[in-house]
Amino acid sequence: MKIIKSIDICATDYLSKTTKDYLLGVNNQNIFPPKPTLELVYENSLNRKFSKKQRIKLVEILLRQYENHKINLNPNSQVYKNIKLLEKSKTFTFTSGQQIHIFLGPLFFLYKIKSLLSLTVNFNNKYSKTQAVPVFWMATEDHDFEEIRKVKLYGKEYFWDSKQGDAVGRILCKGLPELISTIEERADKNLHNKQMFSMLRKHYTPEKTLAEATRAILHEIFETNGLIIINPDDTEFKKIALDSFEKEITNDIIFTNAKLQHETLKKNGYKPVLNPQKTNYFWLENCKRLKIKENQEDAFEIDGEKKLTLSEIIKTPEKLSPNVLSRAIYQETILPNLVYLAGSTEIDYWLLLKSTFEKMKLPYPVLFLRDSAIILSEKTYSDINKLKLEPEDMLKNINELSKICSKEIYNSTLELEEEIKNIYKKIEIIKSKMTDLGYEKAKIEQNIKGLESAISKIKNLIQNDENILKSVSSNNKLKKIKERFFSSKQERNDFAIEYPELFEEINLLDFNKISTSMYFLSI
């Protein structure tokens, strides 16, 4: 697998207007934070405070999580070294996260981590006084099981049947070994697939939770990069964040401030991705994740039934589960964080929270967008070249593509017509020389007439522009390539399991995470 080329993703239609304007520094009304740069990250690091006590506790919990998940971190492991670095006052985290999915889910899961690693390396290469370590936040408490229980391979969907509950990280991997065997029967019998399925079988065992299995797989792939994997569904972490939880719930800080930002964005022509809710937490009980709602009696209803006071809720912090907005508060409370690397939609909702962080006196991270990629086979790349196109051209709509191809063909027809004119000139020269040599003019005309007739038919065929345009517009190959790779985001629709090379070769991809790029990869 290799990178064919890359382009600035802001030149594509892959981003929302909100994310694109933020990345480009369009900030006339002070709607967005400053444009993300490594220089800004470094400047923020000079004022980022995280106490020695907090650091020691963070390291203690992380090492305990790895131990509980039966991952042996020896002192030579880069992961162990990075965790221990967090005890130092000038070490900070660069974080990314994602809801965990069976078999790592869609392609962007791996792209996100690779982008995070590249960004961290680039920062550390540029600045020596501040150290950054990469952290992947497993969203283990998300409860959309329907979303994470399926994978696609060769156009067919496979589903994991499980009735264990809603907090996906707590679900045991029962049934996944059988699903792996079913999928392997359908997969191509090549070395990459053999190695990938061997790794999946090793980690998705019935006694492990999905969180344990996901950590083990990511550790196997990214241990040499020093990727620290964190499970936020942890009582000790939630105890640390409890004051922030209570402060936010008591004063509706997210709701009040995010709602104002939501309205400001709309007034300025942006489309916020979600509406802030009054209560931004769930209740974890018996593997169920239940919505908490505040009623008019200043009590909290769990799933519309069970009623608790705030004091009762905060007595069991392990049962509090942040939603998509309060998760940001949780993360920045327990980590010495400088950067959050996100997808476009994530950036949209993080941008709702700037004033919330200010109100809670929490440092707001610099938001970077992850890189994107489109994987093309060598044949597909060759087919694109045969159409006189570049991969980035395929990001255009089908009508624009047809015009580009039509123009190319039109220019080619002009060249052909010029060649035909030259042929006519040569025929006239031949006629003249044959006449000079004494050939009868009538016989010359009779013999050349057939040649001129054939050339005339070719000329008419070439000049039939309307048919050429019609042919290009209905070009099946063009449409198939567009639909397969470019009409929708391949990285969201295709699953990592369909590209087993990625499990071994993801580190060979040199994502240059200084400016956000769209990469075209070949396999």
Q: Please tell me the total number of residues recorded for the chain in this structure.
A: 523
Nearest to 292 by CA among 324, 322, 327: 322
390 or 60, which is more confident? 60
For 298-302, which contacts have Cβ atoms below 8 Å and span 24 or more sequence positions?
Answer: none
Tell whether the model's pLDDT for residue 220 goes beyond 50. Answer: yes
Phi, psi of 31 (to 5 degrees): -75, -40
Model pLDDT for residues 99-155, shown as the tens digit of each residue: 999 999 999 999 999 999 999 999 999 999 999 999 999 999 987 888 899 998 888
393-402 core/surface letters (b: 16 or more CB in 10 A; e: else):
ebbbebeebb
Name the percent of the chain in helix, strand, coil, to the closest 5: 55, 15, 30
455 or 245, which is more confident? 245
Model pLDDT for residues 485-499, shown as the tens digit of each residue: 887 788 988 999 999
Question: What's the CA gap between 220 and 415, in Å, rounded?
Answer: 57
pLDDT > 70 fraction of the chain, expressed in percent and rounded: 91
Model pLDDT for residues 308-323, shown as the tens digit of each residue: 888 888 888 889 999 9
Residue 472 confidence (pLDDT): 47
Model pLDDT for residues 474-488, shown as the tens digit of each residue: 466 777 888 878 877
Residue 355 CA to its chain's centroid (Å): 26
Residue 469 confidence (pLDDT): 47
Model pLDDT for residues 329-355, shown as the tens digit of each residue: 999 999 999 999 999 999 999 999 999
H or E element at residue 520: strand 517-522
The CA radius of gyration of the chain, in Å to the nearest whole number, is 30
pLDDT > 90 fraction of the chain, expressed in percent and rounded: 56
Please name every residue paired with 281 in a beta bridge, in sequence order, or none if there are none: 322
Residue 103 CA to its chain's centroid (Å): 16
Which of 87-91, 166-170, 425-429, 512-516 is the most confident on average?
87-91
Question: What's the CA gap between 409 and 403, in Å, rounded?
Answer: 10
CA distances from 241 to 76, 226, 324, 341, 464 (A): 31, 26, 16, 22, 72
Question: What's the CA gap between 199 and 210, in Å, rounded?
Answer: 15
Residue 47 confidence (pLDDT): 93
Q: What is the mean pLDDT of residues 256-260?
A: 94
Residue 340, burial from CB neighbour count under 10 angstroms (0-12, 13-18, 19+): buried
CB 286 within 8 A of CB 269: no
Band of the pLDDT at 172, cuts 50, 70, 90?
very high
Task: Classify 126 as helix, strand or coil.
Answer: helix
- Name the one residue in this structure whose structure tokens are 């939501």: 262
Break the chain into its structural domains and give their ranges. 2-242+339-378+490-522, 394-474
CB atoms within 10 A of CB 19: 27
Model pLDDT for residues 373-413, shown as the tens digit of each residue: 999 988 888 888 877 788 888 888 777 777 666 655 545 55
Nearest to 376 by CA among 494, 472, 497, 475: 494
CB atoms within 10 A of CB 280: 23
